[in-house]
Amino acid sequence: MAGTGSIGEAVLSAQSIVKGYGSQPVLQGVSLTIHEGERIGLIGRNGCGKSTLMRILAGRDMADEGLVTRRQGLRTALLTQDCQLAPDATVGRVLEEAQSEIRALMREYEEATQRLAHHGLSDSEQRTLESRHAFLQHELDCTGAWDLDVDIKRIAGALDLPPRDRTVGTLSGGERRRVDLAATILARPDVLMLDEPTNHIDTKSVEWIESFLGAYRGSCVLVTHDRYFLEQIVTRIVEIEFRRIYSFPGNYERFLEYKSQIEAVTGKTEEARQRMLCRELAWVRRGAKARTGKQKARLQRFDDLVDEGPPEKHRSFAFELPQPPRLGKRILDIEELGVAFDKNYLFKNFSMILQHGMRVGVIGPNGCGKTTLLRALMGLEPPKKGRVIIGDTTQFLYVGQMRDDIDPNQTIIDYVANGANYWTVNERRIYIPSYLEHFLFDRDSIRMPMHNLSGGERNRMALAKNLLQGGNVLVLDEPTNDLDLPTLRILEEIILDFDGCAFIVSHDRYFLNRLCTHLIVFEGNDQLVFMTGNYGDYLLYKEKQAAEASNASAQSKPTPRSAVRNVLRLTYKEQKELTGIEPAILDTEAEIERLETVIHAPGFYEQEYTRFQKILDQLAVAKGRREMLYARWQNLEARKSEK
C-alpha cells in the first residue's frame, strides 16, 4: 500500500483554473499543487475534465482563466489518450527522440568532463565549469540516464514493442499506444503525466508499469480507472466533481473512507436545511408580514434557503439483467480439452467442471488464446482433442470485446432497440428511451449517431444491448474497457448478484479480485492452470512456488562458506551463454520482423482462419522468447557487474 510520506518541494502548481468549451464549463476555479515525489491519482466521471486539466498542467492547452507556475527548468511529459506520434516516424526514432533532452544533458556533461581534464582555465572559469559539471551529474543521476540504449531495450521488451524499423502508421492501435507509453517513460521527466496508461496493456506489462512507477524518482500524475494502481501506487487521490477539485491524502481505500464521511456530513446538512425550510415555510404560510426589521430578516433567510438549493447529485446509472433460466445439475464439463492450429497448440489437457455460482476469471498475455478458449467452451471452436459437454439447460450470454456490430452512423436508439419501442424484462414492460436514461443519456441525445460517443459510452451501450439477451452463464471478454469507476462498481454488483455462472476475461486485477471464485491462467508451454481463488490468491500461489523452487535449489547445491561473497559471479557456462544471448535476440527479432511483414501484407486476413491464426501464434511465441532472452540477458549482466 502506498503511503503518504513527507511532502516535498512544490514543483508545479495551477491556481484558479477556469476552462470551458463553447458555453459548456468543464473546470471552474480549480487549483492543484504537485509536490516532489508525489504520485497523484486523478479520478472522476467521463467528461469531467481530467484530460483537460492534464493538458493544461503539461502546457499543451491554455486555461481561459487562472495561472500555472513551474519550478525553473522543470521537465514534464504527457501520455494522452489519442496518439500524437508522426505516422511516418519509425519506432526506433520515436524512442530515441523521447530521450533528446537527456541526451543533450549527457553530451554537455561529457564536454564539461573533457574541458575539466585539460589545463588552461582561469580560476573563475574552473569554478563555474565545476559547478555546472556537478549539476549535470546530479541531474543524470536523478534520471538514471547513464545507459540510455539499454534503457530502450529494457522498456521495449517489457512493453512488447514492435520492431524499431516499423513506422507508426503501420502499427495497430494497441501497438501505437504501447510505443507512445514507452516514449513518455523514456523521457524521464520531473513530472510524468499518464492518461489511462493501462489501456491495451496486458496484466504482465501492467505489473511492470506498476513496479516502474513505484520506484520512479520524479512525480507522477495518473488518470486511471485501474484501482490496483490507485491502491498500490498513489499517495494522493484528486477527484474532479461538478467542475471543482477535491484532494484526499492516501490511496484508494482511504479515498473511499473520506468520501463516505463527506457524503454522510452532506446528507445531514441537507436534512437540517430541509427541516429549517419547512419551519420557515410554515411561518410564511401563516401570513407573516414583513413590517419589522426582524421579520424582513427572517423572510430573507427563507429566500436564502430556497436559493441555496440541495447539493449537486450525479444522475444514477443502473440496469438489470433478466432473471436467468434455472441451471441444471450439469452445466459445463470440460475433459482434456486442447485447441490447436495445425500442430501448434494454444492449450491442451485442460479439464474442469463448472458448478453453480462459480465466477471464473481468465488471464494471460495478449495473443495467448483467451478468446479462443471462450469460443471453445461455448462450442463455437472445434477442439483438437478432448471434449466440452454443455448441459441441456445451459444458455450462454456472450459479450465480446469487438464492436463490429456498431454502425457509426446509426443512432443510439436504433442500435440498442433495433426498431422496438419496448422490452420485457423480468415480466415487466420497459419503455426503451426510459431504460436508456439509466445509462446517462437524455431523451434528446439518444437520437444522435454512435460516432459521437466516447469509448466508455460505446461500451456501456454494448452492455445495455447484449446483457438483456438473457442467459445463465455470462461470458464476458474484456467488459471493463474504458468504463469509469462508478460504472465499474455497478457492473461488479450486477455480476455478484447474478444467479448463474460467469467466465470473465479481464486485465483489471481489482475487478478479478472482487468477482472471481476461480481462475484459469495461461502460463505458457501449452498449459492452463485452473485454481480456486482470485487474482490475489494466484499471486500468493506464485510466490509459494518460487520459494519452494528456491529452497529446492539451495538444498541441492549447498554453497561453501568461502564462496558466499562470490555467489553472484558468472560461471564459465553462464559466460558463454551471455556471449550468445545478443545474437539470439537479433535472430528472434529478425523472425518477428519477418512474421510481421507477412501479417501486414495485403489480403493476409482474407485467407482461411486457421492459416492466418497459425502465423499469429508463431508471432506470439517469438515475442515471448524475445522477452525471456532480454530478462535473462539483464540478469546475467547484473550479476557480471556485481562486486
| Residue 133 near residue 59, CB atoms below 8 Å | no
What pLDDT score was predicted for residue 354?
95
Mean pLDDT of 363-372: 84
How many whole angstroms separate alpha carbon 5 and alpha carbon 7?
7
315 has pLDDT over 70: no
6 has pLDDT over 60: no
2 has pLDDT over 70: no
Q: Which residues contact 389 (CB under 8 A, 6 or more apart)?
A: 330, 332, 333, 334, 335
The lowest-confidence range among 75-79, 509-513, 625-629 is 625-629
Confidence of residue 174 (pLDDT cuts 50, 70, 90): confident
How many whole angstroms separate alpha carbon 474 and alpha carbon 481?
17
The crossing angle, in degrees rounded to 10, of helices 148-158 and 203-214 is 140
User: What single-letter DSSP state applies at residue 90?
Assistant: B
364 has pLDDT over 70: yes
330 has pLDDT over 90: yes
Q: Which residues contact 19 (CB under 8 A, 6 or more apart)?
A: 25, 26, 27, 49, 52, 53, 56, 61, 63, 64
Mean pLDDT of 51-72: 92
**At residue 125, what are phi and psi to the nearest 5 degrees?**
-65, -40
Question: Which of 565, 582, 566 is CA-nearest to residue 637?
Answer: 582
**At residue 473, what are phi and psi to the nearest 5 degrees?**
-130, 105
How many whole angstroms separate alpha carbon 596 and alpha carbon 160?
13
DSSP-derived 3-state class of residue 39:
strand
**Most confidently predicted of 28-37, 209-218, 553-562:** 28-37
How many whole angstroms separate alpha carbon 78 and alpha carbon 193?
5
Mean pLDDT of 32-47: 89
Average pLDDT, the chain: 81
Confidence of residue 185 (pLDDT cuts 50, 70, 90): very high
Whole-number Cα distances in Å, 117 to 120, 129, 138, 141, 603? 10, 11, 19, 21, 61
What pLDDT score was predicted for residue 303?
73
12 has pLDDT over 90: yes
What pLDDT score was predicted for residue 222?
93
Better-scored residue on pLDDT, 125 or 246: 246
184 has pLDDT over 70: yes
What pLDDT score was predicted for residue 288?
60
Across the strands, what pairs with 90? 167
Better-scored residue on pLDDT, 610 or 364: 364
Q: Is 418 left (phi over 0), alpha (psi -120 to 50) or beta?
A: left
Confidence of residue 564 (pLDDT cuts 50, 70, 90): very low
What pLDDT score was predicted for residue 455?
64
Across the strands, what pairs with 77? 192
Confidence of residue 563 (pLDDT cuts 50, 70, 90): very low
Confidence of residue 377 (pLDDT cuts 50, 70, 90): very high
**Most confidently predicted of 44-53, 315-324, 528-537, 574-583:** 528-537
Better-scored residue on pLDDT, 517 or 116: 517
Q: Write the pLDDT tens digit of every residue in 201-228.
A: 778 788 888 888 888 888 999 998 888 8
423 has pLDDT over 70: yes
453 has pLDDT over 80: no
Mean pLDDT of 169-189: 87
